[in-house]
Amino acid sequence: MTQFDLTGRKALVTGAARGIGAAIAEALAKAGASVMVADVLADEGRATVARLTALGATAGFVQLDVTQDDGWAKASEATVRELGGFDILVNNAGIEITSLMVDVQAADLRRMCDVNVVGTALGIKHAFRAMRPGGGAGKGGVVVNIASVAATIAFPAIAGYSATKSAVDRITRVAAMESGKLGYGVRVNCIYPGLVPTTMGMQLANDIVSAGLAPSVEAAVGDVIAQTPLGRLGEVGDMADAVVFMCSDASRFITGAGLPVDGGMGM
Ligand SMILES: NC(=O)c1ccc[n+]([C@@H]2O[C@H](COP(=O)([O-])OP(=O)(O)OC[C@H]3O[C@@H](n4cnc5c(N)ncnc54)[C@H](O)[C@@H]3O)[C@@H](O)[C@H]2O)c1
């Protein structure tokens, strides 16, 4: 178990106000890390911080819209200043706007690109600047990007979202390559979650019904479970545990990799 211990590590988790990000923040804290919760949602973000401090962890909140370069610079500085370093970045913030191809809207596609792709790339930029030798933290570290099973299979009505998550997958590889070649000492990996019944996951199930692809939410969820060899939906804790592994020394020789956490749905 000691290889999963994150005592003394300083982490920033985006989109940690709720859902998968909140579970990741909690799992990192339970593994011993100090955690900066970053989100556009201030009240919910501070509630996550209160849960982490109740666990005995050091935690703080920074309001961050991941699409904003200057916001990232401030969030990175706040992490180093308030936690005393910056060793782990989890790029979890994301949005999904469901649409059949015949109905796609340019504004929706651009918004998903902005949050999911630009947001992830800017996060890596500022993590690398802080973590590489000579940076504000300067001790190397780990980046984990939250992609999706949608980057690995064709699922109807989420073409734009799937494209952005495929982009996250590619960005992960290039960032890992640059970090290795330039001696930054930062490993970069991603996970591909299957469907998790968070706000986003349940909205997708509802949208699948609205798009005429399933007669009911129960049927939509049942279709996903039927496509999943392990026979259930994902839970936020399933994702959080995989992220702890990717952040820990147990994965010390893994970089530029994508780990499916989908019950086998994407195999
Ligand atoms: N739920 C699923 O089924 C599922 C499956 C695969 C991948 N994912 C991915 O997991 C991640 C978390 O999803 P979730 O299900 O917890 O979603 P969620 O909607 O429940 O939570 C997303 C969080 O991200 C925050 N956020 C959104 N835009 C932001 C921005 N511009 N800047 C900062 N924060 C922002 C939201 O405020 C929210 O707290 C996302 O990247 C999502 O694409 C989710």
Contact between residue 27 and residue 237 where contact means Cβ atoms under 8 Å apart: yes
**Residue nearest to ligand 1 atom 43, measured at CA:** 94
Considering the entire predicted model, what is its pTM? Answer: 0.99
CA dist 79 and 257 (Å) reads 26
CA dist 121 and 171 (Å) reads 7
- Catalytic-labelled residue, pool 61, 72, 161, 192: 161
Q: What is the pLDDT of residues 160-213, one digit of tens each?
A: 999 999 999 999 999 999 999 999 999 999 999 999 999 999 999 999 999 999
Helices (H) and strands (E) in the chain, counts: 9, 7
Pocket residue to mutate for ligand 1, from 26, 95, 145, most atoms within 8 A of Cβ:
95
Ligand 1 and 242: CB distance under 6 A: no
Angle between the N-to-C axes of helices 159-181 and 119-131, in degrees from 0 to 180, rounded to the nearest 10: 20
pLDDT value at residue 2: 76
What's the CATH number for 2-195+235-261? 3.40.50.720
Confidence of residue 30 (pLDDT cuts 50, 70, 90): very high
Q: Give the closest residue to 145 by CA, choosing from 236, 247, 234, 37.
A: 247
Pocket residue to mutate for ligand 1, from 111, 198, 228, most atoms within 8 A of Cβ:
198
**CA 144 to ligand 1 centroid distance, Å:** 14
Mean of all residue pLDDT scores within the chain: 98
Evaluate if residue 1 carries a pLDDT over 60.
no
Q: What is the pLDDT of residues 102-145, one digit of tens each?
A: 999 999 999 999 999 999 999 999 999 999 999 999 999 999 99
Evaluate if residue 59 carries a pLDDT over 60.
yes
CA of 147, closest atom in ligand 1: 7
Evaluate if residue 52 carries a pLDDT over 60.
yes
Q: How far is CA 258 from CA 24, 38, 108, 169, in A?
A: 17, 23, 26, 7
Evaluate if residue 88 carries a pLDDT over 70.
yes
Evaluate if residue 37 carries a pLDDT over 90.
yes
CA dist 252 and 245 (Å) reads 10
Per the annotation, the verdict on 161 as an active-site residue is yes
